[in-house]
């Protein structure tokens, strides 16, 4: 029994050693992958060693080199007498190659230990390959606001680092509204959420940026992220520079841009004739919106946002509150014009549930018609992404108590509007029955559709 146990142990050790060796060899060969720009520098380094050695030999008149060559020739002659050249030659060659690989792997290992964050076991070559893949991803522009936009960005950043989020600055409620009144800054709330979503250390930064002070004179109710962006705005001079500086500090993958730097205030006209002013007041008014606009009218777009749209490979609108997150971006005429002019894949992500005070009883077609109307009845997107399955009974009951229901898919109307329907299962339900878009599922469907639409053009 003991001999059998020892045999099993030896076999296990051999398998483990073989596995480790295979993994290490696999990691070495990754450095030869196309596009990493390592092979050329490796061979240049070898050439440099050869030239340096040659220069040293010339400088010292070859005397030590001559005796070194004689010694080596004697050793090789002795070796050739013992083993034939067709055996000794490959053995020496293999030994030299192994020495080079060992030295290179130890060098890379030392560099990796310095560059790799503590607790991260990912190999440096894997980091480089992932970095190259992300920065070769499509240039994606996402237009929206609210929690829906940050949810989408959380999924998209695993497919591309070339992401630009264009965010509304019409928020006037909560912490953002207070900062807007007290400091005269543009509301930082939606921008804060997007920065946290695109940051590399997302979990920690999200917790930090979303942290709200529960005590303190004047601090209660404010989020740390809003105060951080307000301070950065004061230091840098405007919100655009504040966001750019914050992105560097937070190692953000992509960029977040306000739609405009104008102090925009939303207004809405309801069917009963009332005119409601203020983004936070519109959903509370309890009426059906027939027209929406902003003060000042036709605010100028941020030039960087227009540049991003013109260079985009893919434009995504939504998800988010229809009248208070999505349409406010389209009230900046230059943004709507730039999107309308692009002949690239463009898609709208429709909300899963209706929103009380904004889209009561709205269908998917009515969401599309509202966006078209806000943009002068132009088509800013070619397809609409809708959820395929009905949420659970628990979720339906929970939302019905708030007078919210699943957005009805009116296929005929959408067809008449000239839009393609992309159905997919893209929701996530938490233990309380709250319905959200699943970041990874949503991003996967969007990139799959983009790939098909891009190659179909």
Question: 126-135, 152-161, 231-240: which range is least confident on average?
Answer: 126-135
pLDDT for position 5: 44
Q: Which two tokens stand for residue 128?
A: 């480089």
Q: What does the alpha-carbon distance between residue 429 and residue 421 come to, in Å, rounded to a whole number?
A: 23
Q: What does the alpha-carbon distance between residue 164 and residue 25 come to, in Å, rounded to a whole number?
A: 39
Instruction: Between 430 and 347, name the one with better pLDDT.
Output: 347
Question: Do residues 167 and 197 make contact, with C-beta atoms less than 8 angstroms apart?
Answer: no
Q: Which two tokens stand for residue 262?
A: 């104008």
On the question of pLDDT at 396 being above 80, the answer is yes
DSSP state for residue 315 in the 8-state scheme: E
Q: What are phi and psi of 379, to 5 degrees?
A: -90, 110
On the question of pLDDT at 17 being above 70, the answer is no
Nearest to 243 by CA among 297, 350, 166, 152: 166
Q: Which residues contact 188 (CB under 8 A, 6 or more apart)?
A: 176, 179, 225, 226, 229, 230, 233, 239
Q: Which residues contact 335 (CB under 8 A, 6 or more apart)?
A: 143, 166, 259, 301, 305, 306, 309, 329
Average pLDDT (310-320) is: 95
For residue 123, the SS3 value is coil
Based on the number of CB atoms within 10 Å of its own CB, is 231 exposed (0-12), middle (13-18) or buried (19 or more)?
middle
Radius of gyration of the chain (CA): 31
Domain map (residue ranges) of the chain: 131-168+259-455
Nearest to 108 by CA among 46, 30, 40, 171: 30
Q: Which two tokens stand for residue 181?
A: 């009144």
On the question of pLDDT at 170 being above 90, the answer is no
The pTM assigned to this predicted structure is 0.76
Question: Do residues 94 and 2 make contact, with C-beta atoms less than 8 angstroms apart?
Answer: no
**Before 296, cis peptide (omega within 30)?**
yes
131-168+259-455 CATH, one of 3.40.50.10680, 3.90.950.10, 3.40.50.300, 3.50.50.60? 3.40.50.10680
Look up tokens 């290992």; give the residue. Answer: 109
pLDDT for position 10: 47
Q: What does the alpha-carbon distance between residue 120 and residue 212 come to, in Å, rounded to a whole number?
A: 30
Q: What does the alpha-carbon distance between residue 416 and residue 435 come to, in Å, rounded to a whole number?
A: 29
Instruction: Between 167 and 246, name the one with better pLDDT.
Output: 167
pLDDT tens-place string over residues 76-92: 777 777 777 777 778 77
Instruction: Between 332 and 454, name the one with better pLDDT.
Output: 332
Give me the chain's average pLDDT, please. 83
Q: What does the alpha-carbon distance between residue 114 and residue 102 come to, in Å, rounded to a whole number?
A: 19
Q: Which two tokens stand for residue 314?
A: 């893919």
Q: What are phi and psi of 391, to 5 degrees?
A: -60, 170
Q: Which two tokens stand for residue 230?
A: 């307000």
Percent of the chain at pLDDT > 70 equals: 81
């Amino acid at each position: 029994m003991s001999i059998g146990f020892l045999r099993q142990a030896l076999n296990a050790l051999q398998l483990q050693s073989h596995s480790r060796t295979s993994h290490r060899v696999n990691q070495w060969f990754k450095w030869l992958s196309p596009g990493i720009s390592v092979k050329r520098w490796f061979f240049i380094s070898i050439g440099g060693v050869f030239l340096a050695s040659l220069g040293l030999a010339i400088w010292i008149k070859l005397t030590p080199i001559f005796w070194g060559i004689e010694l080596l020739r004697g050793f090789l002659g002795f070796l050739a007498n013992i083993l034939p050249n067709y055996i000794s030659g490959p053995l020496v060659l293999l030994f030299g190659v192994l020495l080079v690989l060992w030295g290179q792997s130890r060098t890379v290992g030392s560099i990796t230990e310095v560059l790799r964050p503590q607790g991260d076991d990912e190999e440096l070559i894997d980091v480089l390959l992932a970095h190259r893949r992300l920065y070769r991803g499509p240039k994606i522009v996402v237009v929206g606001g609210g929690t829906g936009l940050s949810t989408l960005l959380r999924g998209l950043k695993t497919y591309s680092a070339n992401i630009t989020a264009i965010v509304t600055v019409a928020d006037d409620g909560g912490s953002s509204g207070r900062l807007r009144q007290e400091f005269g800054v543009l509301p930082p709330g939606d921008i804060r959420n997007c920065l946290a979503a695109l940051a590399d250390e997302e979990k920690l930064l999200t917790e930090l940026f979303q942290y709200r002070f529960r005590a303190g004179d004047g601090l209660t109710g404010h989020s740390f992220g809003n105060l951080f962006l307000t301070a950065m705005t004061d230091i840098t001079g405007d919100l655009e520079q504040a966001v750019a500086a914050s992105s560097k500090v937070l190692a953000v993958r992509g960029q977040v841009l306000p739609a405009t730097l104008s102090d925009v205030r939303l207004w809405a006209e309801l069917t009963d004739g009332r005119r409601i002013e203020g983004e936070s007041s519109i959903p509370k008014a309890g009426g059906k919106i027939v027209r929406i606009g902003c003060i000042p009218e036709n605010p100028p777009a941020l030039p960087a946002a227009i540049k991003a749209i013109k260079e985009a490979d893919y434009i995504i609108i939504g998800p988010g509150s229809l009248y208070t997150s999505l349409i406010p971006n389209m009230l900046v005429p230059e943004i709507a014009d730039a999107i309308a002019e692009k002949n690239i894949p463009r898609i709208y992500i429709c909300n899963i549930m209706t929103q009380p005070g904004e889209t009561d009883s709205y269908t998917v077609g009515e969401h599309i018609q509202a966006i078209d109307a806000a943009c002068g009845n132009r088509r800013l997107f070619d397809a609409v992404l809708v959820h395929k399955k009905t949420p659970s009974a628990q979720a339906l009951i929970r939302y019905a108590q708030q007078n919210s229901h699943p957005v009805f898919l009116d296929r005929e109307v959408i067809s008449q509007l000239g839009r393609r329907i992309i159905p997919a299962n893209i929701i996530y339900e938490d233990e309380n029955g709250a319905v959200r878009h699943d970041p990874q599922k949503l991003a996967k469907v969007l990139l799959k559709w983009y790939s098909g639409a891009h190659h179909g053009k």
